[in-house]
């Protein structure tokens, strides 16, 4: 018999719960069905990011050539890099910290 999923007061509380709990104790994944959420919008958070002026100017040039806002291009670049780094981690390959530090300091 599976455990009962508790009621959550907020999305953050639920996120913390599932981050530490094993979902197989609560759900029978063999009965799961694939669904799509066509109107789901990701939760966004505004951050402050300090960039060297030259890097920002170069980003704006690239964005202008692609006819997209520079913030959108920056998000795309970040998403691609994060995905690549996660693939490297999951494949057992690691990059030395000095390479990551050099990339972050640009």
What are the extents of the domains in the chain?
Answer: 1-33, 47-106
What's residue 4's pLDDT?
Answer: 94
CA distance 70 to 63: 5
Closest among 89, 49, 97 to 70, alpha carbons compared: 49
Distance CA 96, CA 58 (A): 27
Q: Where are the alpha helices (DSSP H) in the chain?
A: 11-20, 53-66, 70-90, 97-104
User: Given this model, what pLDDT does residue 96 score?
Assistant: 52
Give me the tens of pLDDT residue by residue for the chain, a chain 106 residues long. 789 999 999 999 999 999 999 999 999 999 999 998 888 888 889 999 999 999 999 999 999 999 999 999 999 999 999 999 999 998 876 555 445 555 555 5
- CB distance 29 to 23 below 8 Å: yes
Q: What is the pLDDT of residue 98?
A: 46
Q: How confident is the model at residue 37, as a pLDDT?
A: 85
């Amino acid at each position: 018999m599976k455990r009962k999923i508790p009621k959550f007061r907020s999305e953050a509380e639920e996120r913390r719960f599932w981050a530490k709990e094993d979902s197989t104790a609560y759900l029978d994944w063999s009965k799961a069905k694939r669904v799509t959420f066509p109107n789901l919008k990701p939760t966004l958070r505004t951050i402050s990011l300090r960039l060297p002026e030259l890097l920002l100017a170069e980003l704006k040039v690239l964005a202008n050539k692609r006819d997209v806002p520079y913030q959108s291009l920056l998000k795309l670049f970040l998403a691609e890099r994060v995905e690549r780094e996660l693939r490297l981690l999951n494949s057992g390959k690691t990059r030395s910290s000095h390479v990551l530090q050099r990339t972050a300091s640009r």
